[in-house]
Chain A
Amino acid sequence: MKLYRLETVSWSDSQLLYHALPRIGREGLNLLSPASPYVCIGYFQDVEQEVDLDYCRAHNIPVFRREVGGGAVYLDGEQLFYQLVIRKNHPLVPKEKGEFYWKFLQAPIAAYRALGIPAEYKPVNDIIASGRKISGNGVAEIGDYIVFVGNLIVDFDYETMVRVLRVPDEKFRDKVYKTLQDNLSTIRRELGSAPPRAQLWDLLAEKFMEILGPLEVETTVDAEWRAEADRLAARMMSDEWLFRRGRSQIGREVTIRAGVQVWQKAYKAPGGLIRAILEVREGVIADISLSGDFFFYPAERLVDLERALVGVRVEDVEQVIARFYADYGVESPGVTAADFARTIQVA
């Protein structure tokens, strides 16, 4: 295995290179940082639900879907990425994911500690310092390889992070911003200043080598690797890949008889997942049950909302729900009348 100390690369290479490495049958540890900011969504996410694409387009912020799990993140040059590509049957690889994370997160934890930041492992895949998250990590299995990616966070642009997310309103955005501020820390926040970048790369290299053993260092991308990354770019930077159907808008319709259907719908609103099971007769709701993991105050009004929707044409649900909200003073942070309507109406 080699250590690829590439330091600053293009934003797209900061993703494509680690996706390409296992595909050319090669292990490696990449240390790199993107030259410009971008948004990166998790493998299973629905980009239109997670990201404010209009804002990103207007501000030239590209959006990328990775094969690694987790959520939408704003990434930029103030984050130092480590990307370990290692064979599943490598003797150092524990088979259980908690053990895997614990083992390889020791490298960034040790790097943080060497800087004087009291970092510690928090199961299953987090690093915290003084109770705040200070590193994001995830894994993808690609072929016979495990791809483990994460970052040291020198500084974090909280404002842009909350701006690139798709949120229902500014109140919700403000809530996300405050929660992020309270729960995510950085090297600069912990130390009051940022150490020289070279020191951070050295520390990461040293601490990973304490786990992996000595590694030969390369500082460039060879032709074979470059060609595979370019080949992957054609697929992973296409709209087809980015807009791949997310799971959260998928619904099912079962026709009981002509004109009578039972629908099962799910929609992930910013405030939580909404589920609806409804019977529809000739386009009119005959019965409906709403559930999910969103907050709805007062909770007992949800049953009243279900009753209010019986007899309503599917295309009219948004107005009815909006009126219901106004009449009863219902509050559901991050879930709007339009979200309920979308749950019901989405194909």
Chain B
Amino acid sequence: MQISGFEFPDDLYYDRQHNWACVEGNTVVQGMTEFGQKLAREIVYVEIPPVGKAVTQGQTFMSMESGKWVGRIPALVSGKIVAVNEELEFEPTLVNQSPYDQGWLVKIEMSNPAELNNLLRADSPEFKAFVEEEAAKYKDVL
């Protein structure tokens, strides 16, 4: 669905840091939302974490650079990284160009699927209100 002019696919889960999670069985694919990449500006480097690394929901586990700013990305669920998007080593701007598809970041095998309840859905009034508030706050940048 569209919120404030940005796409938020209905089947994904979201956090309040502009990241999305797509559930595939016991695995979650994580990426940055269209809104998030716009706010981040052009991504020039992505640090690909090693496969097998343990991650914790809400804790940062990888870095990205844009505008000389090295930012940290939190994991949307706890578990173990089972795949990483190696293309981002060569084409970090895929995060900008294709945030919901080719710009995915990592796949995490969930250790506690109940944590998905801590995330938001696109059609929830809470999420809509959050995005609208963010869009209003950053209207000059977006």
* Chain A residues at the B interface, C-beta cutoff of 8 Å: 42-44, 67-70, 95-99, 101, 124-125, 137-141, 247, 250, 252, 264, 266, 275
Contact = CB atoms under 8 A, between A and B. Distances in A.
B51 interface: no
B90 A69 contact: no
Contact of A250 (B41, B71, B89): B89
Given A43-B63, A44-B45, A96-B39, A125 B89 contact: no
A125 B69 contact: yes
Interface of B: 39-41, 44-45, 47, 60, 63, 65-72, 86, 89-90, 137-138, 141
B89 A247 contact: yes
Nearest to B42: A124
A97 B69 contact: yes
Give 5 closest A-B pairs by Cβ, nearest first.
Answer: A138-B68, A44-B45, A70-B68, A139-B69, A69-B68
A98 B141 contact: yes
Given A96-B141, A97-B41, A124-B41, A141 B70 contact: yes
A68 B86 contact: no
A125 B70 contact: no
Nearest to B90: A266
Contacts of A43: 45, 63, 65, 70
A43 B65 CA distance: 9
Contacts of A68: 68, 70
B67 A247 contact: no
Given A96-B141, A98-B141, A99-B141, A137 B68 contact: yes
Contact of B67 (A95, A125, A250, A252): A125
Provide the main secondary structure of the chain B interface. mixed
Given A44-B47, A96-B141, A247-B45, A69 B86 contact: no
B15 to A, nearest CB: 14
Contact of B90 (A42, A96, A275): A275
A270 to B, nearest CB: 17
Nearest to A138: B68
A151 to B, nearest CB: 13
A44 B92 CA distance: 12
A99 B41 CA distance: 13
A125 B69 CA distance: 9
Given A44-B65, A68-B68, A125-B68, 4 more contacts: A69-B65, A70-B68, A97-B69, A247-B47
A192 to B, nearest CB: 30
B17 to A, nearest CB: 10
Contacts of B137: 95-96
Given A98-B141, A125-B67, A266 B89 contact: yes
Contacts of B67: 69, 97-98, 101, 124-125
A69 B141 contact: no
Given A69-B65, A99-B141, A141 B90 contact: no
A185 B67 CA distance: 21
A341 B69 CA distance: 32
A275 B71 CA distance: 26
A98 B69 CA distance: 10
Contacts of A42: 65, 68
Contacts of B47: 44, 247
